[in-house]
């Protein structure tokens, strides 16, 4: 029968795992756009923007831009807080409602 791992090995494994996660993890920000009309054209526009087929004035390239369409809303996320805020303001100027999720240090 194998002996159970020593407490020192467990602590070392936890430290290695924590260091690995901290080196690769990054904050993610997201907001949701609500509107009573079809948001499909806006989703297509943002996908084209992400894939460098379209440029938006005043918004830097967002390579990790994520999108999810649902009935009545569009969820947008990225690690680039400043660019997402620009997109949020764009949607609000178009008369759409938005919700915002951020971290406590922002």
Give the Cα-Cα-Cα angle 50, 51, 56 (nearest 5 degrees).
50
What is the mean pLDDT of the segment spanning 23-40? 88
What is the mean pLDDT of the segment spanning 96-101? 87
Residue 83 lies in a domain: yes
What is the C-alpha R_g of the chain? 20
For tokens 């996660």, the residue is 21
Residue 73 lies in a domain: yes
Residue 82 lies in a domain: yes
**Domain containing residue 76: CATH number:** 3.30.70
> From CA 6, how far away is CA 104, in angstroms rounded?
37
Domain of residue 36: give its range.
27-101
**For all residues of the chain together, what is the average pLDDT?**
85
Structure tokens at 34: 């609500």
pTM (whole model) above 0.85: no
Q: What total of structural domains would you count in the chain?
A: 1
Those residues with Cβ within 8 angstroms of residue 80's Cβ, 6 or more apart along the chain or in another chain:
29, 60, 62, 64
First to last CA, the chain: 52
pLDDT of residue 62: 87
Residue 61 lies in a domain: yes
Residue 5 lies in a domain: no
């Amino acid at each position: 029968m194998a002996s159970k791992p020593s407490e020192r090995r467990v602590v070392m494994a936890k430290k290695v795992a924590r260091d690995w996660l901290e080196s690769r993890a990054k904050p993610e920000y997201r907001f949701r756009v609500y509107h009573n009309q079809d948001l499909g054209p806006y989703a297509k526009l943002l996908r084209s923007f992400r894939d460098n087929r379209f440029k938006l004035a005043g918004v830097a390239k967002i390579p990790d831009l994520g999108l999810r369409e649902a009935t009545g809303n569009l969820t947008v996320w990225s690690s680039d807080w400043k660019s997402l805020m620009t997109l949020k303001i764009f949607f609000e100027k178009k008369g759409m409602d938005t919700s915002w999720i951020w971290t406590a240090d922002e």
